[in-house]
Amino acid sequence: MTRSAKLRRRTMQRRWRIGPTIGKLMAVFALAVLGVVALTQSAGREADVYKLTDLRSQQGAVEQDIADLKMLEARAKTLDRISQSQVKQEMVPVGDDVQQLTPEPDVAGATTQR
């Protein structure tokens, strides 16, 4: 046999074999990669939960503002109705020149004592 035939034969006979140690290391590496992926996804979900909680609190604040504005609108409408009512037009403003009415001593059969 020539030298080139021996080299070729030697290289042909070498094969990679996966032994128990390499298999264990590959399994540990695969589990580590899966763990990193799982942690990344859970961290993303936690960020979404925080965003959702923040949005819900903002929604509650907006709903409270809407309720307050509706109440203010009802008050304004009531004041507007009062200012445009006939009863208000007939009222006399209270001022310095208000005349005091004194009741008659005998009104409708009732007597007043002084």
pLDDT digits 0-9 by tens, 16-72 = 677 778 888 999 999 999 999 888 887 778 778 888 899 999 999 999 999 999 999
Residue 101 lies in a domain: no
Residue 91 lies in a domain: no
**DSSP string computed for 72-99:** HHHHHHHHHHHHTSHHHHH-----TTPP
Residue 100 lies in a domain: no
Q: Is 62 helix (H, G, I), strand (E, B) or coil?
A: helix
Residue 108 lies in a domain: no
Residue 12 lies in a domain: no
pLDDT digits 0-9 by tens, 86-114 = 877 777 767 666 666 676 666 566 665 55
Q: Is 46 helix (H, G, I), strand (E, B) or coil?
A: helix
Residue 114 lies in a domain: no
Residue 9 lies in a domain: no
The number of folded domains in the chain is: 1
Q: Residue 32 belongs to what domain range?
A: 22-83
Element (H, E) at 4: helix 3-13
